[in-house]
Amino acid sequence: MTDSKIIYTCTDEAPLLATYSFLPIMSAYAATAGVSIETRDISLAGRIIASFPEYLKADQRIGDALSELGALTLRPEANIIKLPNISASVPQLKEAIAELQQHGYAVPDYPEAPKTDEEKAIRARYGKVLGSAVNPVLREGNSDRRAPGAVKSYARTHPHSMGKWSADSRTNVATMTDGDFRASEKSAVMKSDGSLRIELAGDDGTTTVLREPLKVLAGEIVDGSVMSVVALGAFLDEQIARAKSENVLFGLELKATMMRVSDPIIFGHGVRTFFPQAFAQYGDALAAVGGDPDDGLAAILQAAQKLPADQRSGVETAVRQRLADGPALAMVDSSNGITGLHVPSDVIIDASMPAMIRSSGHMWGPDGKEADMLAVIPDHSYASIYQIVIDDCRANGPYDPVTMGTVPNVGLMAQAAEEYGSHDKTFEISKPGTVHVIDQDGNTVFEHSVGVGDIWRMCQTKDLPIRDWVKLAVSRARLSETPAIFWLDETRPHDANVIAKVRAYLTEHDTSGLQIEIMSPDNAIKYSLERIRKGQDTISVTGNVLRDYLTDLFPILEVGTSAKMLSIVPLIKGGGMFETGAGGSAPKHVEQLVEENHLRWDSLGEFLALAASLEHLAQTTGNAHAQILADTLDRATGTFLNEDKSPGRRVGELDTRGSHFYLALFWAEELASQTQDPALAAAFVPLAKTLRASESVIAGELLAMQGAPVDLGGYYLPDPVKTESVMRPSKTFNEILASLEG
């Protein structure tokens, strides 16, 4: 039997807790096919620990698993299952550091305003942990995301709730038309291999090197753009006034976790602009005690506790008064007064906007009631797609999960393509002047005039990922016999360069009989929505940010959640990475587990990814047993859905641990009844019989422990012994599973 290996990532929050329960099951089953499952820690805590080995005791040090996996993605034998991880904002990073220090890890504090070379070096190391630090390292391939047939079928027979829409809905999107990234974008295609440096030529005659030379390749697309903070401030002022006059909720929609440099700054301007009195009177005092609006209102109120009593009271009074007088804010947690401006990582546009659309165009207000809202999306690159969906719902009502079609996605993301790869090339401008991008020969590729506080960024998209993306799109269109639409706008400089490459690379493939078109995002979403209402399917072929937006938008509307998507990353070098869904709700799940020992994390994404991983392994290694495992797991997952064994939301209902038991039961029964390999079937016959006979006992044990608080020993670094005890509470199930392992 061929020895084969799958790498399963240990990440954060609810996905990590679920791993403690599910990993023993899949390891035991996979071992029967000669497949070993190894883990690698790419959690936020793990990445911090790996970044500072010289600060730690020898027994605390761990290897850099992320770098190891990044190297593995460049080898054809790569087979990685990647669970959702924390894309850390600065507040989350600080919390994780504090928890590690409490556990005895002497990692350094995060330098707010580094002055010494040592502090600057520490800040730079932490900068590699912030935001989407994991995905650009691992995504050495483009994305193929779709709702599996079993999931789509289940949604049609068990439709999720969809809020009604009224023609009188006042919900809308507000976005800039000038002075933002989209309006200022410039783009160039590199003619040869070389390097670029980024310089700020100040109006005062000084020159500051913002970025030392970075390597570029022939055919690579390089873009630069700038957001004017003057234009941003005026826009935010206008939208605050508009929300007030229209009596709708004000919601600032960003993705500070992924766009980890630009969006936190924009978020900070939103906080400043919404609370002008507080910052006019106490801004300097707050800054002196570490109150940074980029970290959100919660951080400002926390910093205010360090001020003298009169100033603290003044800040709190100004905030309360503004909340009373200004437009009502869209809330994250109405019952606890947590607004959408409290923490930058609390509102993630690709998750919040689809949820709002599914809920009649409503978000929760401070009064604990749903209300229409103004979704404020500063940069207008893609904001209009949400307005088009809102207008479609206002005119035609909600989508029907029973009849609606599906919109799978082929996403360009390999090698840090497009906006999500821009963190090390994004700068908050310190003085007025001109930013120049200069090649190795001293030629200016493009330039932008900038003012103090403007946000300038540069993005790169290499040629090889684009070529692979086109190949994947044609392959998916052929396999599914579905139209494929490239969402590209010829009026946008970056997209115009991509369109030229797409047209050239399409000629390398047989597209006869296929419908493959290029449309602007506005036209593409209108076309997709028309087809979806007719029950027709349409592949969206998009860049990286739209990939992120659409692979939440359509799944949430179609099947109720993006966690149920099959997400495959065919790596360019021949390996495979299999992603397991979205983790945006993971913090709430952890909170519920700690308070009442009920975890509602849905591991369906893990089931789907494991089946795809096993199938890939079978195809690349010739391990026929792995293919049997994959096929039987797919059938077991179908039974799992049909028998409705997904986790419930409340204590007393089946939770994540119970759902894992039922998946194990159904999978064992499928393996025991398959006829391709009688020896493998024989190995599972006693297990299947014992699990079925013990069903009521195991289910009872898994329900009995719910309702009381539990101690995990940590949030970012939970104690392994305590967490395993919490996540594997059924003695009966554990003993039965051990019999297979034995």
Question: DSSP assignment of 687-742, as one string?
Answer: HHHHHHHTHHHHHHHHHHTTTS----S-SSS--HHHHHHHH---HHHHHHHHHHH-
H helix intervals, 176-251: 181-184, 229-246
- Among 530, 218, 553, which residue's Cα sits nearest to residue 353? 553
CA distance 532 to 105: 52
- CB neighbours of 285 closer than 8 A, spacing ≥ 6? 307, 311
Could you tell me the CA-to-CA distances from 677 to 68, 630, 673 in Å, in that order?
Answer: 36, 14, 10
CA distance 714 to 16: 12
Ranking 253-267, 278-292, 302-316 by mean pLDDT, the lowest is 253-267
The answer to whether residues 522 and 384 touch, using CB atoms and an 8 Å cutoff, is yes
CA distance 330 to 375: 9
For 362-415, write each residue's pLDDT tens digit.
999 999 999 999 999 999 999 999 999 999 999 999 999 999 999 999 999 999
Flag whether pLDDT at 296 surpasses 60: yes
- CB neighbours of 149 closer than 8 A, spacing ≥ 6? none
Q: Are strands 207-216 and 194-202 parallel, antiparallel or unpaired?
A: antiparallel
Residue with tokens 């395993």: 724
CA distance 546 to 44: 25
- Residue 742 has what pLDDT? 59
CA distance 567 to 354: 19
For 634-661, write each residue's pLDDT tens digit.
999 999 999 999 999 999 999 999 999 9
- Among 462, 445, 421, which residue's Cα sits nearest to residue 198? 445
- Residue 421 has what pLDDT? 67
As a whole number, mean pLDDT of residues 22-31 equals 97
Amino acid (one-letter) located at 18 = A
H helix intervals, 561-655: 586-596, 604-621, 624-642
Amino acid (one-letter) located at 665 = L
- Residue 177 has what pLDDT? 96
Bridge partners, residue 186, by sequence:
224
H helix intervals, 87-205: 90-102, 117-127, 135-138, 149-157, 181-184
Beta strands in 268-385 (DSSP E): 331-333, 338-339, 362-364, 370-376
**Residue-wise over 650-684: b if at least 16 C-beta within 10 A, else e?**
eeeebbbbbbbbbbbbbbbbbbbebeebeebbebb
- Residue 29 CA to its chain's centroid (Å): 29
- Among 490, 480, 249, which residue's Cα sits nearest to residue 361? 249
- Residue 578 has what pLDDT? 96
Q: Note the residue count of the chain.
A: 742
**DSSP codes, 476-535:** HHHHHT--EEEE--TTSHHHHHHHHHHHHHHTTS--TT--EEEE-HHHHHHHHHHHHHTT
Per-residue tokens: 116? 């010494």
For 401-456, write each residue's pLDDT tens digit.
999 999 999 999 999 888 776 788 999 999 999 999 999 999 999 999 999 999 99
For the chain, the farthest-separated pair of C-alpha atoms sits apart, in whole angstroms, at 82
Q: Output the CA angle 579-581-585, nearest 5 degrees.
A: 140
For 90-138, write each residue's pLDDT tens digit.
889 999 999 999 999 999 999 988 999 999 999 999 988 987 788 888 8
Per-residue tokens: 64? 């850099």
φ/ψ of residue 188, rounded to 5: -145, 150
Average pLDDT, the chain: 95
- Residue 584 has what pLDDT? 55
Quickly count: other Cβ atoms within 10 Å of residue 323's Cβ. 18
DSSP label of 88: B
The answer to whether residues 514 and 482 touch, using CB atoms and an 8 Å cutoff, is no
- Residue 2 has what pLDDT? 44
Flag whether pLDDT at 498 surpasses 60: yes
The answer to whether residues 262 and 182 touch, using CB atoms and an 8 Å cutoff, is no
Amino acid (one-letter) located at 52 = F
CA distance 282 to 301: 12
Q: Residue 542 is inside which H or E element, if any?
A: strand 539-542
DSSP label of 571: B
For 661-711, write each residue's pLDDT tens digit.
999 999 999 999 999 999 999 999 999 999 999 999 999 999 999 999 999
φ/ψ of residue 16, rounded to 5: -65, -45
- Among 603, 618, 705, 710, which residue's Cα sits nearest to residue 663? 603
Percent of the chain's residues with pLDDT above 70:
98
Give the pTM: 0.89
Sign, Cα dihedral of 97, 100, 102, 106:
negative
As a whole number, mean pLDDT of residues 321-347 equals 95
Bridge partners, residue 194, by sequence:
216
For 581-633, write each residue's pLDDT tens digit.
765 557 889 999 999 999 999 999 999 999 999 999 999 999 999 999 999 99
Amino acid (one-letter) located at 374 = L
Per-residue tokens: 114? 């580094």
Q: Quote the radius of gyration of the chain (alpha carbons, Å).
A: 26
DSSP label of 327: P
The answer to whether residues 130 and 47 touch, using CB atoms and an 8 Å cutoff, is no
Q: Are strands 338-339 and 186-189 parallel, antiparallel or unpaired?
A: unpaired
H helix intervals, 359-428: 383-396
Flag whether pLDDT at 1 surpasses 60: no
- Residue 441 has what pLDDT? 96
Amino acid (one-letter) located at 469 = W
As a whole number, mean pLDDT of residues 539-553 equals 95
- Torsion over CA of 199, 200, 202 and 203, rounded to 10 degrees? 100
- Among 394, 447, 430, which residue's Cα sits nearest to residue 198? 447
Residue with tokens 């100040």: 202
The answer to whether residues 733 and 699 touch, using CB atoms and an 8 Å cutoff, is no
